[in-house]
A and B are shown apart, each in its own frame.
Chain A
Protein backbone atom coordinates (compact mmCIF):
# COMPACT_ATOMS: atom_id res chain seq x y z
CA UNK A 1 0.00 0.00 0.00
CA UNK A 2 1.39 3.35 -1.02
CA UNK A 3 0.77 6.25 1.37
CA UNK A 4 -0.91 9.44 0.14
CA UNK A 5 2.24 11.45 0.72
CA UNK A 6 5.74 11.31 -0.71
CA UNK A 7 8.19 10.35 2.01
CA UNK A 8 11.79 11.46 1.38
CA UNK A 9 13.13 11.53 4.94
CA UNK A 10 14.47 8.00 5.34
CA UNK A 11 17.54 9.23 7.22
CA UNK A 12 15.15 10.35 9.98
CA UNK A 13 13.24 7.09 10.10
CA UNK A 14 11.76 4.42 7.84
CA UNK A 15 8.35 2.75 7.83
CA UNK A 16 8.41 -0.71 9.40
CA UNK A 17 8.14 -3.34 6.66
CA UNK A 18 4.79 -5.16 6.93
CA UNK A 19 6.70 -8.47 7.08
CA UNK A 20 8.61 -7.10 10.08
CA UNK A 21 5.37 -6.17 11.80
CA UNK A 22 4.01 -9.69 11.18
CA UNK A 23 7.13 -11.22 12.71
CA UNK A 24 6.73 -9.01 15.79
CA UNK A 25 3.00 -9.41 16.30
CA UNK A 26 2.87 -12.65 18.37
CA UNK A 27 5.38 -11.26 20.86
CA UNK A 28 3.03 -8.50 22.02
CA UNK A 29 0.19 -10.84 22.97
CA UNK A 30 0.45 -14.64 22.97
CA UNK A 31 4.21 -14.76 23.35
CA UNK A 32 4.56 -12.00 25.93
CA UNK A 33 6.74 -13.90 28.41
CA UNK A 34 9.88 -12.33 29.81
CA UNK A 35 12.78 -14.20 28.17
CA UNK A 36 14.63 -14.18 31.51
CA UNK A 37 12.07 -16.55 33.09
CA UNK A 38 12.52 -20.29 33.42
CA UNK A 39 9.17 -21.69 32.31
CA UNK A 40 8.54 -22.93 28.79
CA UNK A 41 7.11 -19.63 27.48
CA UNK A 42 10.10 -17.68 28.78
CA UNK A 43 12.58 -20.20 27.40
CA UNK A 44 10.89 -20.06 24.00
CA UNK A 45 11.17 -16.29 23.95
CA UNK A 46 14.81 -16.53 24.99
CA UNK A 47 15.27 -18.82 21.98
CA UNK A 48 13.63 -16.19 19.76
CA UNK A 49 15.97 -13.50 21.11
CA UNK A 50 19.02 -15.70 20.59
CA UNK A 51 17.94 -16.61 17.06
CA UNK A 52 17.63 -12.87 16.35
CA UNK A 53 21.08 -12.26 17.80
CA UNK A 54 22.58 -14.98 15.61
CA UNK A 55 20.85 -13.63 12.53
CA UNK A 56 22.13 -10.10 13.16
CA UNK A 57 25.63 -11.44 13.85
CA UNK A 58 25.61 -13.32 10.52
CA UNK A 59 24.66 -10.12 8.72
CA UNK A 60 27.53 -8.23 10.34
CA UNK A 61 30.08 -11.07 10.08
CA UNK A 62 30.65 -11.38 13.83
CA UNK A 63 29.89 -13.80 16.67
CA UNK A 64 26.44 -13.60 18.26
CA UNK A 65 28.16 -13.12 21.65
CA UNK A 66 29.45 -9.79 20.33
CA UNK A 67 25.95 -8.33 19.80
CA UNK A 68 24.20 -6.51 22.69
CA UNK A 69 20.64 -5.25 22.39
CA UNK A 70 19.86 -1.64 23.35
CA UNK A 71 17.02 0.85 23.07
CA UNK A 72 18.43 2.41 19.88
CA UNK A 73 21.21 4.46 18.34
CA UNK A 74 21.47 7.09 21.06
CA UNK A 75 21.85 4.52 23.84
CA UNK A 76 24.33 2.53 21.77
CA UNK A 77 26.47 5.63 21.17
CA UNK A 78 26.32 6.70 24.82
CA UNK A 79 27.21 3.23 26.04
CA UNK A 80 30.04 2.79 23.53
CA UNK A 81 31.71 6.12 24.27
CA UNK A 82 31.20 6.47 28.02
CA UNK A 83 31.81 2.76 28.53
CA UNK A 84 35.03 2.65 26.51
CA UNK A 85 36.41 5.87 28.00
CA UNK A 86 35.63 4.85 31.59
CA UNK A 87 37.12 1.40 31.01
CA UNK A 88 40.30 2.95 29.61
CA UNK A 89 40.99 5.52 32.33
CA UNK A 90 44.36 3.96 33.21
CA UNK A 91 45.58 4.87 29.74
CA UNK A 92 44.09 8.35 29.71
CA UNK A 93 40.90 10.29 28.99
CA UNK A 94 41.50 11.73 25.54
CA UNK A 95 38.90 11.14 22.79
CA UNK A 96 39.13 11.81 19.05
CA UNK A 97 35.96 12.38 17.05
CA UNK A 98 34.86 14.35 13.97
CA UNK A 99 33.01 17.63 13.52
CA UNK A 100 30.11 15.98 11.67
CA UNK A 101 29.10 13.30 14.17
CA UNK A 102 25.50 12.92 15.28
CA UNK A 103 24.73 14.76 18.53
CA UNK A 104 24.46 11.39 20.28
CA UNK A 105 28.24 11.07 19.75
CA UNK A 106 29.34 14.70 19.80
CA UNK A 107 27.39 15.69 22.91
CA UNK A 108 28.50 12.53 24.74
CA UNK A 109 32.14 13.32 23.94
CA UNK A 110 31.65 16.93 25.05
CA UNK A 111 30.04 15.73 28.27
CA UNK A 112 33.07 13.56 29.01
CA UNK A 113 35.41 16.44 28.12
CA UNK A 114 33.53 18.67 30.57
CA UNK A 115 33.98 16.04 33.28
CA UNK A 116 37.73 15.62 33.32
CA UNK A 117 38.31 14.29 29.81
CA UNK A 118 39.90 15.82 26.76
CA UNK A 119 38.53 15.97 23.24
CA UNK A 120 39.98 16.55 19.79
CA UNK A 121 37.45 17.17 17.02
CA UNK A 122 38.94 16.58 13.57
CA UNK A 123 37.64 18.72 10.68
CA UNK A 124 36.04 17.49 7.45
CA UNK A 125 36.23 18.40 3.77
CA UNK A 126 33.59 20.53 2.03
CA UNK A 127 31.71 17.31 1.34
CA UNK A 128 31.93 16.00 4.88
CA UNK A 129 34.88 13.62 4.56
CA UNK A 130 37.27 12.93 7.43
CA UNK A 131 40.94 12.73 6.41
CA UNK A 132 42.51 9.65 8.11
CA UNK A 133 45.78 11.61 8.37
CA UNK A 134 44.00 14.08 10.67
CA UNK A 135 42.91 11.21 12.90
CA UNK A 136 46.48 9.84 12.99
CA UNK A 137 47.79 13.29 13.97
CA UNK A 138 45.17 13.69 16.70
CA UNK A 139 45.94 10.39 18.46
CA UNK A 140 48.14 10.80 21.56
CA UNK A 141 49.60 8.43 24.15
CA UNK A 142 46.60 9.09 26.41
CA UNK A 143 43.96 8.62 23.67
CA UNK A 144 41.46 5.97 24.75
CA UNK A 145 38.90 6.13 21.96
CA UNK A 146 38.43 7.25 18.37
CA UNK A 147 34.78 7.62 17.32
CA UNK A 148 34.09 8.35 13.64
CA UNK A 149 30.72 7.69 12.02
CA UNK A 150 30.39 5.21 9.15
CA UNK A 151 28.24 7.59 7.11
CA UNK A 152 26.94 11.05 7.85
CA UNK A 153 23.22 11.52 8.49
CA UNK A 154 22.92 14.97 6.92
CA UNK A 155 25.00 14.89 3.75
CA UNK A 156 25.42 11.12 3.35
CA UNK A 157 29.24 11.06 3.10
CA UNK A 158 30.69 7.58 3.65
CA UNK A 159 33.78 7.90 5.83
CA UNK A 160 37.04 5.99 5.20
CA UNK A 161 36.53 3.61 8.14
CA UNK A 162 38.95 0.91 6.90
CA UNK A 163 41.78 3.44 6.61
CA UNK A 164 41.04 4.86 10.06
CA UNK A 165 40.87 1.42 11.67
CA UNK A 166 44.28 0.58 10.21
CA UNK A 167 45.62 3.59 12.10
CA UNK A 168 43.82 2.88 15.39
CA UNK A 169 44.99 -0.76 15.33
CA UNK A 170 48.57 0.22 14.73
CA UNK A 171 48.38 2.67 17.63
CA UNK A 172 46.43 0.30 19.85
CA UNK A 173 43.48 2.68 20.35
CA UNK A 174 39.83 1.54 20.49
CA UNK A 175 37.72 2.53 17.49
CA UNK A 176 33.95 3.06 17.67
CA UNK A 177 31.81 3.80 14.64
CA UNK A 178 28.25 5.10 14.64
CA UNK A 179 26.78 2.98 11.83
CA UNK A 180 23.18 4.05 12.42
CA UNK A 181 22.90 5.35 8.84
CA UNK A 182 24.63 2.41 7.14
CA UNK A 183 23.47 -0.86 8.72
CA UNK A 184 20.78 -2.25 6.43
CA UNK A 185 21.48 0.29 3.67
CA UNK A 186 24.95 -0.67 2.47
CA UNK A 187 26.95 -3.82 3.32
CA UNK A 188 28.41 -3.60 6.84
CA UNK A 189 31.06 -6.18 7.76
CA UNK A 190 32.77 -5.51 11.09
CA UNK A 191 35.83 -7.54 10.08
CA UNK A 192 36.30 -5.63 6.84
CA UNK A 193 35.73 -2.31 8.62
CA UNK A 194 38.12 -3.28 11.41
CA UNK A 195 36.15 -1.51 14.14
CA UNK A 196 36.01 -2.52 17.81
CA UNK A 197 32.56 -1.12 18.64
CA UNK A 198 29.67 -0.32 16.30
CA UNK A 199 26.25 1.28 16.97
CA UNK A 200 23.07 0.55 15.02
CA UNK A 201 19.37 1.36 15.26
CA UNK A 202 16.42 -0.76 14.06
CA UNK A 203 14.11 1.95 12.73
CA UNK A 204 16.60 3.20 10.15
CA UNK A 205 16.28 0.00 8.11
CA UNK A 206 12.53 -0.69 8.05
CA UNK A 207 12.55 -2.15 11.56
CA UNK A 208 10.77 -0.88 14.68
CA UNK A 209 11.66 2.19 16.73
CA UNK A 210 13.01 1.84 20.27
CA UNK A 211 15.48 -0.94 19.59
CA UNK A 212 19.08 -1.06 18.44
CA UNK A 213 22.26 -2.90 19.14
CA UNK A 214 25.89 -2.42 19.99
CA UNK A 215 28.57 -4.65 18.51
CA UNK A 216 31.47 -5.03 20.96
CA UNK A 217 34.42 -7.00 19.63
CA UNK A 218 35.37 -9.92 21.89
CA UNK A 219 37.87 -8.86 24.54
CA UNK A 220 37.07 -5.12 24.25
CA UNK A 221 36.66 -3.51 27.67
CA UNK A 222 33.52 -1.38 27.88
CA UNK A 223 32.06 -0.35 31.24
CA UNK A 224 28.45 -1.22 31.96
CA UNK A 225 26.04 1.74 32.15
CA UNK A 226 22.73 -0.04 32.86
CA UNK A 227 22.85 -1.92 36.14
CA UNK A 228 20.00 -4.12 37.31
CA UNK A 229 18.70 -7.55 36.45
CA UNK A 230 21.84 -8.74 34.71
CA UNK A 231 20.46 -9.19 31.21
CA UNK A 232 22.79 -9.29 28.20
CA UNK A 233 25.44 -11.22 30.15
CA UNK A 234 25.32 -8.54 32.88
CA UNK A 235 26.54 -5.85 30.46
CA UNK A 236 23.21 -4.17 29.75
CA UNK A 237 20.45 -4.71 32.28
CA UNK A 238 16.82 -4.18 31.38
CA UNK A 239 14.01 -6.50 30.30
CA UNK A 240 14.60 -7.38 26.67
CA UNK A 241 12.34 -5.74 24.09
CA UNK A 242 11.44 -9.08 22.49
CA UNK A 243 9.09 -7.79 19.75
CA UNK A 244 11.60 -5.07 18.89
CA UNK A 245 14.55 -7.46 18.78
CA UNK A 246 12.66 -9.98 16.64
CA UNK A 247 11.50 -7.17 14.34
CA UNK A 248 14.97 -5.66 14.02
CA UNK A 249 16.46 -9.03 13.08
CA UNK A 250 13.68 -9.64 10.54
CA UNK A 251 14.29 -6.18 9.07
CA UNK A 252 18.01 -6.79 8.73
CA UNK A 253 17.28 -10.09 7.00
CA UNK A 254 15.23 -8.12 4.44
CA UNK A 255 17.90 -5.44 4.08
CA UNK A 256 19.26 -7.13 0.99
CA UNK A 257 16.28 -5.56 -0.78
CA UNK A 258 17.50 -2.09 0.19
CA UNK A 259 21.07 -2.89 -0.72
CA UNK A 260 19.91 -4.23 -4.10
CA UNK A 261 17.99 -1.01 -4.76
CA UNK A 262 21.05 1.17 -4.10
CA UNK A 263 21.77 1.88 -7.77
CA UNK A 264 18.15 2.80 -8.42
CA UNK A 265 18.09 5.19 -5.43
CA UNK A 266 21.38 6.80 -6.48
CA UNK A 267 20.01 7.32 -9.99
CA UNK A 268 16.86 8.93 -8.54
CA UNK A 269 18.94 11.32 -6.41
CA UNK A 270 20.98 12.24 -9.49
CA UNK A 271 17.83 12.80 -11.57
CA UNK A 272 16.29 14.99 -8.87
CA UNK A 273 19.46 17.07 -8.69
CA UNK A 274 19.76 17.44 -12.47
CA UNK A 275 16.08 18.36 -12.76
CA UNK A 276 16.22 20.94 -9.98
CA UNK A 277 19.37 22.63 -11.26
CA UNK A 278 17.76 22.87 -14.71
CA UNK A 279 14.57 24.43 -13.32
CA UNK A 280 15.89 26.58 -10.45
CA UNK A 281 19.27 28.27 -10.50
CA UNK A 282 21.59 29.09 -7.61
CA UNK A 283 21.60 25.66 -5.96
CA UNK A 284 24.71 24.21 -4.36
CA UNK A 285 25.25 20.56 -3.64
CA UNK A 286 26.48 19.45 -0.19
CA UNK A 287 26.44 15.74 -1.02
CA UNK A 288 29.24 14.11 -3.00
CA UNK A 289 27.04 12.04 -5.30
CA UNK A 290 29.96 9.74 -6.13
CA UNK A 291 30.60 8.81 -2.46
CA UNK A 292 27.42 8.85 -0.43
CA UNK A 293 24.62 6.72 0.91
CA UNK A 294 22.20 5.63 -1.85
CA UNK A 295 19.39 8.13 -2.43
CA UNK A 296 20.96 10.98 -0.45
CA UNK A 297 20.71 14.57 -1.67
CA UNK A 298 21.54 17.61 0.44
CA UNK A 299 21.83 21.04 -1.14
CA UNK A 300 21.40 24.72 -0.38
CA UNK A 301 19.05 27.07 -2.17
CA UNK A 302 20.29 30.65 -2.35
CA UNK A 303 17.87 33.32 -1.15
CA UNK A 304 15.41 31.04 0.63
CA UNK A 305 15.19 29.73 4.20
CA UNK A 306 14.98 25.97 4.61
CA UNK A 307 12.04 25.69 6.99
CA UNK A 308 9.89 27.78 4.65
CA UNK A 309 10.63 25.37 1.77
CA UNK A 310 10.02 22.39 4.03
CA UNK A 311 6.60 23.69 5.10
CA UNK A 312 5.61 24.51 1.53
CA UNK A 313 6.62 20.99 0.47
CA UNK A 314 4.58 19.68 3.40
CA UNK A 315 1.57 21.53 1.97
CA UNK A 316 2.17 19.48 -1.18
CA UNK A 317 2.38 16.27 0.94
CA UNK A 318 6.12 15.88 0.46
CA UNK A 319 8.22 15.09 3.57
CA UNK A 320 11.83 16.28 3.66
CA UNK A 321 14.15 17.90 6.22
CA UNK A 322 16.40 20.93 6.46
CA UNK A 323 19.46 22.00 8.41
CA UNK A 324 18.22 25.54 8.97
CA UNK A 325 18.30 26.98 12.48
CA UNK A 326 14.52 26.73 12.66
CA UNK A 327 14.66 22.98 12.25
CA UNK A 328 17.62 22.23 14.51
CA UNK A 329 15.76 23.37 17.61
CA UNK A 330 18.39 26.01 18.33
CA UNK A 331 19.33 29.36 16.89
CA UNK A 332 22.23 27.84 14.99
CA UNK A 333 22.02 26.06 11.66
CA UNK A 334 23.18 22.44 11.42
CA UNK A 335 26.65 21.87 12.90
CA UNK A 336 27.35 19.50 10.00
CA UNK A 337 26.76 22.18 7.35
CA UNK A 338 28.86 24.68 9.31
CA UNK A 339 31.65 22.05 9.54
CA UNK A 340 31.51 21.73 5.74
CA UNK A 341 32.47 25.40 5.70
CA UNK A 342 29.11 26.89 4.78
CA UNK A 343 28.44 30.35 6.25
CA UNK A 344 25.34 30.38 8.52
CA UNK A 345 23.33 32.53 6.09
CA UNK A 346 23.87 29.87 3.40
CA UNK A 347 23.28 26.87 5.68
CA UNK A 348 19.82 28.25 6.57
CA UNK A 349 18.77 27.47 2.99
CA UNK A 350 19.47 23.73 3.09
CA UNK A 351 17.19 20.87 2.12
CA UNK A 352 17.78 17.14 2.58
CA UNK A 353 16.08 14.42 0.55
CA UNK A 354 16.75 10.85 1.66
CA UNK A 355 15.11 8.22 -0.49
CA UNK A 356 14.08 4.69 0.38
CA UNK A 357 13.11 1.50 -1.34
CA UNK A 358 9.43 2.43 -1.71
CA UNK A 359 10.22 5.66 -3.61
CA UNK A 360 9.74 5.68 -7.37
CA UNK A 361 10.55 7.86 -10.37
CA UNK A 362 6.99 9.20 -10.15
CA UNK A 363 7.91 10.68 -6.74
CA UNK A 364 10.85 12.49 -8.34
CA UNK A 365 8.54 13.79 -11.08
CA UNK A 366 6.10 15.10 -8.45
CA UNK A 367 8.88 16.94 -6.59
CA UNK A 368 10.23 18.42 -9.81
CA UNK A 369 6.71 19.60 -10.52
CA UNK A 370 6.30 21.62 -7.28
CA UNK A 371 9.70 22.51 -5.77
CA UNK A 372 10.96 24.92 -8.47
CA UNK A 373 7.73 26.93 -8.10
CA UNK A 374 8.12 27.00 -4.31
CA UNK A 375 11.69 28.28 -4.67
CA UNK A 376 10.57 30.99 -7.12
CA UNK A 377 7.69 32.12 -4.89
CA UNK A 378 9.86 32.34 -1.79
CA UNK A 379 12.66 34.11 -3.66
CA UNK A 380 10.17 36.68 -4.90
CA UNK A 381 9.16 37.20 -1.30
CA UNK A 382 12.77 37.73 -0.19
CA UNK A 383 14.14 41.27 0.28
CA UNK A 384 17.72 40.11 -0.22
CA UNK A 385 17.66 37.77 -3.20
CA UNK A 386 19.08 39.50 -6.27
CA UNK A 387 18.61 42.78 -4.55
CA UNK A 388 18.98 45.69 -6.95
Chain B
Protein backbone atom coordinates (compact mmCIF):
# COMPACT_ATOMS: atom_id res chain seq x y z
CA UNK B 1 0.00 0.00 0.00
CA UNK B 2 1.30 3.42 -0.96
CA UNK B 3 0.73 6.73 0.83
CA UNK B 4 -2.62 8.48 0.36
CA UNK B 5 -2.80 11.94 -1.20
CA UNK B 6 -3.61 13.35 2.24
CA UNK B 7 -0.48 11.83 3.76
CA UNK B 8 1.62 13.22 0.93
CA UNK B 9 0.01 16.64 1.37
CA UNK B 10 0.64 16.76 5.14
CA UNK B 11 4.18 15.52 4.51
CA UNK B 12 4.94 18.11 1.82
CA UNK B 13 3.12 20.97 3.63
CA UNK B 14 3.20 20.12 7.32
CA UNK B 15 0.98 22.27 9.56
CA UNK B 16 2.11 23.71 12.90
CA UNK B 17 5.81 22.90 12.70
CA UNK B 18 8.01 24.27 15.44
CA UNK B 19 8.27 24.72 19.19
CA UNK B 20 6.06 26.96 21.35
CA UNK B 21 8.07 29.34 23.50
CA UNK B 22 7.36 28.83 27.17
CA UNK B 23 4.91 25.96 26.57
CA UNK B 24 2.37 24.72 29.12
CA UNK B 25 3.06 21.10 28.23
CA UNK B 26 5.73 19.12 26.38
CA UNK B 27 5.44 15.54 25.13
CA UNK B 28 8.22 13.59 23.48
CA UNK B 29 7.92 10.00 22.31
CA UNK B 30 9.83 7.61 20.07
CA UNK B 31 13.36 6.47 19.76
CA UNK B 32 16.06 7.37 17.23
CA UNK B 33 17.01 3.67 16.90
CA UNK B 34 13.56 3.01 15.40
CA UNK B 35 13.91 6.12 13.26
CA UNK B 36 11.10 8.22 14.72
CA UNK B 37 11.09 10.88 17.43
CA UNK B 38 8.17 13.29 17.94
CA UNK B 39 7.94 16.28 20.22
CA UNK B 40 4.73 18.20 20.77
CA UNK B 41 4.42 21.47 22.70
CA UNK B 42 1.05 22.91 23.75
CA UNK B 43 -0.33 26.17 25.07
CA UNK B 44 -3.45 25.73 27.20
CA UNK B 45 -6.07 28.41 27.92
CA UNK B 46 -9.41 27.85 29.73
CA UNK B 47 -8.87 24.08 29.57
CA UNK B 48 -8.54 24.25 25.77
CA UNK B 49 -5.53 23.66 23.51
CA UNK B 50 -4.98 27.19 22.32
CA UNK B 51 -1.87 26.38 20.31
CA UNK B 52 0.08 23.25 19.42
CA UNK B 53 3.30 22.73 17.48
CA UNK B 54 5.36 19.69 16.58
CA UNK B 55 8.87 18.66 15.70
CA UNK B 56 9.47 15.24 14.17
CA UNK B 57 12.45 13.21 13.06
CA UNK B 58 11.10 10.45 10.90
CA UNK B 59 9.64 9.20 7.67
CA UNK B 60 6.81 10.63 5.59
CA UNK B 61 4.15 8.95 7.74
CA UNK B 62 5.75 10.19 10.96
CA UNK B 63 5.69 13.79 9.73
CA UNK B 64 2.17 13.53 8.26
CA UNK B 65 0.67 12.01 11.43
CA UNK B 66 2.33 14.70 13.55
CA UNK B 67 0.93 17.42 11.32
CA UNK B 68 -2.54 15.84 11.40
CA UNK B 69 -2.66 15.43 15.18
CA UNK B 70 -1.90 19.12 15.67
CA UNK B 71 -4.78 20.04 13.36
CA UNK B 72 -7.14 17.70 15.21
CA UNK B 73 -6.09 18.93 18.65
CA UNK B 74 -6.11 22.69 18.08
CA UNK B 75 -9.06 24.34 19.86
CA UNK B 76 -10.24 21.13 21.52
CA UNK B 77 -10.78 20.75 25.26
CA UNK B 78 -8.08 18.74 27.00
CA UNK B 79 -10.59 15.90 27.60
CA UNK B 80 -11.51 15.74 23.91
CA UNK B 81 -7.92 16.04 22.76
CA UNK B 82 -6.92 13.15 25.00
CA UNK B 83 -9.34 10.84 23.24
CA UNK B 84 -7.68 11.33 19.83
CA UNK B 85 -6.34 7.88 19.03
CA UNK B 86 -3.75 6.58 16.60
CA UNK B 87 -6.60 5.13 14.54
CA UNK B 88 -8.31 8.54 14.41
CA UNK B 89 -5.13 10.11 13.05
CA UNK B 90 -4.69 7.35 10.47
CA UNK B 91 -8.28 7.50 9.28
CA UNK B 92 -8.21 11.31 9.01
CA UNK B 93 -5.24 10.79 6.68
CA UNK B 94 -7.28 8.30 4.60
CA UNK B 95 -5.26 5.43 6.01
CA UNK B 96 -1.62 4.49 6.42
CA UNK B 97 0.34 1.55 4.95
CA UNK B 98 0.08 -1.38 7.43
CA UNK B 99 3.80 -1.27 8.26
CA UNK B 100 3.43 2.37 9.30
CA UNK B 101 0.47 1.89 11.65
CA UNK B 102 2.74 1.02 14.57
CA UNK B 103 6.21 2.40 13.96
CA UNK B 104 5.35 5.84 12.61
CA UNK B 105 1.99 6.56 14.18
CA UNK B 106 3.12 7.94 17.52
CA UNK B 107 1.74 11.45 17.19
CA UNK B 108 -1.37 10.82 19.32
CA UNK B 109 0.91 9.42 22.03
CA UNK B 110 3.04 12.56 21.90
CA UNK B 111 -0.05 14.74 22.26
CA UNK B 112 -1.28 12.75 25.28
CA UNK B 113 2.20 12.99 26.80
CA UNK B 114 2.09 16.80 26.38
CA UNK B 115 -1.34 16.98 28.06
CA UNK B 116 -0.14 14.72 30.91
CA UNK B 117 2.89 16.99 31.33
CA UNK B 118 0.59 20.03 31.54
CA UNK B 119 -1.65 18.37 34.17
CA UNK B 120 1.35 17.35 36.23
CA UNK B 121 2.65 20.92 36.19
CA UNK B 122 -0.75 22.29 37.24
CA UNK B 123 -1.09 19.78 40.06
CA UNK B 124 2.39 20.32 41.42
CA UNK B 125 1.90 24.06 41.05
Q: Which segment of A112-120, A210-218, A324-332 sits at the interface?
A: A324-332
> Known contacts A329-B99, A331-B34, A348-B35: does B59 contact A305 (CB below 8 Å)?
yes
Which of A311, A325, A329, A383 contacts B35 (CB under 8 A)?
A325
Q: Contact check, B56 vs A345: say whether CB atoms are below 8 A apart.
A: no
- Indicate if A72 sits at the interface (CB-CB under 8 A): no
Chain A, Cβ-Cβ closest to B61: A326
**A250 to B: closest C-beta gap in Å:** 34
- Indicate if B23 sits at the interface (CB-CB under 8 A): no
**B26 to A: closest C-beta gap in Å:** 10
Which of A307, A330, A382 contacts B55 (CB under 8 A)?
A382
Q: Contact check, A384 vs B37: say whether CB atoms are below 8 A apart.
A: yes
Chain B, Cβ-Cβ closest to A379: B57
Chain A residues closer than 8 Å to B55, beta-carbon distance: 381-383
Chain A residues closer than 8 Å to B17, beta-carbon distance: 380-381
- Grouping DSSP codes into helix (H, G, I), strand (E, B) and loop, the B interface class, with mixed when no group exceeds half, is mixed
**B21 to A: closest C-beta gap in Å:** 14
- A344, A383, A384 — most chain B CB neighbours (10 Å): A383
- B32, B37, B103 — most chain A CB neighbours (10 Å): B32
- Indicate if A32 sits at the interface (CB-CB under 8 A): no
- Indicate if B33 sits at the interface (CB-CB under 8 A): yes
Chain A residues closer than 8 Å to B114, beta-carbon distance: none
Q: Contact check, B99 vs A315: say whether CB atoms are below 8 A apart.
A: no
Chain B residues closer than 8 Å to A311, beta-carbon distance: 8, 11-12, 60
B-contact bits for A344-388, CB 8 A (1 contact / 0 none): 110010000000000000000000000000000000111111000
Chain A residues closer than 8 Å to B52, beta-carbon distance: none
- Indicate if B75 sits at the interface (CB-CB under 8 A): no
Q: Contact check, B104 vs A326: say whether CB atoms are below 8 A apart.
A: yes
- Indicate if B112 sits at the interface (CB-CB under 8 A): no
Chain A residues closer than 8 Å to B39, beta-carbon distance: 383
Q: Contact check, B35 vs A305: say whether CB atoms are below 8 A apart.
A: yes
- Indicate if B107 sits at the interface (CB-CB under 8 A): no
Number of interface residues of B (CB under 8 A): 27
- Indicate if B95 sits at the interface (CB-CB under 8 A): no
- Indicate if B38 sits at the interface (CB-CB under 8 A): yes
- B14, B34, B36, B103 — most chain A CB neighbours (10 Å): B34
> Which residues B18-73 have CB closer than 8 A to chain A?
28, 32-39, 55-63
Q: Contact check, B28 vs A383: say whether CB atoms are below 8 A apart.
A: yes
A-contact bits for B96-111, CB 8 A (1 contact / 0 none): 0001100110000000
Chain B, Cβ-Cβ closest to A333: B35
Chain B residues closer than 8 Å to A305, beta-carbon distance: 35-36, 57-59, 62
Question: Considering the chains assembled together, what is the distance between the CA atoms of A302 and B112 in angstroms?
Answer: 28
Q: A305-B62, A326-B60 are in contact. List 20 more A-B contacts (CB 8 A).
A: A305-B35, A305-B36, A305-B59, A308-B58, A308-B59, A308-B62, A315-B12, A324-B35, A324-B59, A325-B34, A326-B100, A329-B99, A331-B99, A333-B35, A382-B37, A382-B55, A382-B56, A383-B55, A383-B56, A384-B32
* Contacts A/B (CB < 8 Å), 15 sampled: A305-B36, A307-B60, A308-B58, A308-B63, A325-B35, A344-B33, A344-B35, A348-B32, A382-B37, A383-B28, A383-B37, A383-B55, A383-B56, A383-B57, A385-B57
The 7 closest A-B pairs by CB, nearest first: A383-B39, A345-B32, A383-B55, A307-B59, A326-B59, A382-B57, A348-B35
Residues of A near any B CB (own CB < 8 A): 303-308, 311-312, 315, 324-326, 329-331, 333, 343-345, 348, 380-385
